[in-house]
Amino acid sequence: MRLKKLGSESMKVEFNLKRILLGSVIILPMICAKAQYVEVTPQVGVTVNKNTMFAAGAGLKAGADVIFGFNKHLGIQTGLFYTQRRSSGAGTDVIRGHREGSTETEYYFCTVEPNGTDYSGSNINRLPADFIVEGGSMRHIEKRNDFLQIPVRLQYSLKVCDKLKFDFGAGGYVGYGISGKRKEYITDWTVGGMPSTNDVTGNPFKYGDDRFDYGASFLFRVQSNKLSIIAGADIRLHERNANKDRTYYLGAGYSF
């Protein structure tokens, strides 16, 4: 009962976060109609995506942000961006074999590497003492998830002089997965035999990755004349996302 209650509360928090973020996007035009000035900055840069299950990968981010300034310090940042999240890592390794005196095939999940006619690995002690290894399979996954994102941030600007300005932004974003690529390399091996590798390619959103995306978003910009160097971070808050994505960004832009 307690687990069911916690799950229900988690879904309620997620629904409220979605409602707040989507509501912010909807009422944004009404808020920005009161802006004293508008600044558009097309930009392009590199992302580094980190999560708890895969190794970090570098991708591309391109788009434009729009600043609606209410005075010389405060404003609203928004825009539209194409963002790549790349990652890679090992999947589940499977060992196949049987017990002494038995013909029934058994499978174990552990990390071992085939070595000619032998096998080795740090987790080999997980196998039963009378287990005879016949072979197994290893997996390596590389994937790229492509999103369209709309950030909504509160901005604070600090003008140092006529040619130098610092911008700080904090808020959230919503996104939707539009495409991507997931490539899985599967190596099958048998004791005494040669390994063979096959690859399976597909769309990551058809393998269970969620298309809908939202989270917290932060930005720091140094602007000199019309040129900008921009650093940012998106922290995914999706409750069903076990990977805990953190996407960092470094780019350059030109303001109009």
Between 71-75, 103-107, 109-113, 217-221, the lowest mean confidence (pLDDT) is in: 109-113
Tokens of 110: 């552990």
Average pLDDT, the chain: 81
pLDDT in tens, 143-201: 899 999 999 999 999 999 888 999 999 999 999 999 999 998 888 888 777 778 888 88
Q: What sections of 172-241 are H helices per DSSP?
A: none
- The CA dihedral of 207, 213, 216, 222, to the nearest 10 degrees, is 90
Task: Write down the residue that tokens 């058809």 correspond to.
Answer: 206
Task: Classify the C-alpha dihedral 83-221-51-8 as positive or negative.
Answer: negative
* Domain membership flag for residue 124: no
Which structural domain range is residue 35 located in? Answer: 2-90+140-254
* Domain membership flag for residue 159: yes
* Domain membership flag for residue 176: yes
3-class secondary-structure state, position 125:
helix
Band the pLDDT of 23: cuts 50, 70, 90. Answer: low
What is the percent of the chain where pLDDT is above 70? 77
Contacts with 91 (C-beta within 8 Å, 6 or more apart), sequence order: 138, 139, 140, 141, 184
Band the pLDDT of 222: cuts 50, 70, 90. Answer: very high
3-class secondary-structure state, position 243:
coil
pLDDT in tens, 203-218: 988 887 888 888 999 9
* Domain membership flag for residue 230: yes
- The CA dihedral of 33, 39, 40, 43, to the nearest 10 degrees, is -140
* Domain membership flag for residue 56: yes
Rounded Cα distance, 61 and 189, in Å: 39
pLDDT in tens, 52-101: 777 888 999 999 999 999 898 999 999 999 999 998 876 657 788 888 88
* Domain membership flag for residue 102: no
* Domain membership flag for residue 158: yes
> Which pLDDT belongs to residue 44?
98
- Kindly report the CATH number assigned to the domain that includes residue 18: 2.40.160.20
Q: Averaged over 22-49, what is the pLDDT? A: 80
How many separate domains does the chain show?
Answer: 1
Answer yes or no: are the C-beta atoms of 109 and 92 closer than 8 Å.
yes
* Domain membership flag for residue 225: yes
| pTM: predicted TM-score of the whole model, two decimal places | 0.73
- Stated as kind and residue range, the H or E segment containing 15 is helix 2-32
